[in-house]
Amino acid sequence: MKWILASSSLTGIKEYHLVEEDQLILVLKYSFDQQSIRIINEDERLVFFMEDGGGFANRIIFKNPYGVDIGKFSYNSRTHSGHVEVNSVTLHYTVVEGNAPKVLIHKRNVQQPLAVCHLPFFSPKPAAQYEQACFLLSLCWYAAVKSSIKNGQSL
């Protein structure tokens, strides 16, 4: 899987496509001004807003359109890892830097990833964390849905 920048508008909205073997899986729209995330696939359309983590430098809170906290994103800049929690489902991730940065989504063991995805960029700078939180929220949502379908569970 990999993220591809599909478009970037003057209004500050970036559209990314998550593709696997040239098949479109998800569309992600990120608005820097509104700090909003829109995740679109053939079955669902989700909207999230992001806010600072309340005094924690490496934490971002996800809210639904009604302003209710529904999850969080955390990032450890030393290990390039963290976790995403949404609706009491927690998935961990590890970013592998290099010419083609990628992220491994896993439950507890990085050796058994639920998903591996190439990122369009990786920056450890705090300013880039919101955009990276968008990628990781979308990937974790997709991995959780894929895992729950495979195991016959619901989220």
- The pLDDT tens digits of the residues spanning 31-81 come to 989 999 999 988 889 999 999 886 666 899 999 999 999 999 999 888 889
pTM of the model: 0.84
Contact criterion met (CB below 8 Å) for 12 and 129: no
Kindly calculate the radius of gyration of the chain based on its CA atoms and give it in whole angstroms: 14
- Report angle CA 1, 9, 37 to the nearest 5 degrees: 55
Q: What are phi and psi of 31, to 5 degrees?
A: -110, 115
Q: b/e string for 77-112 if b means 16 or more Cβ within 10 A?
A: eeebbbbbbbeebebbbbbbeeeebbbbbbeeeeee
* pLDDT tens per residue, range 22-31: 999 999 999 9
Beta strands per DSSP E along the chain: 2-8, 13-20, 23-31, 36-40, 45-53, 56-63, 69-76, 81-86, 89-96, 102-106, 115-118
Mean pLDDT of 68-97: 89
Q: With the CA atoms of 76, 47, 27 and 44 taken in that order, what torsion angle do they form, in degrees rounded to the nearest 10?
A: 120
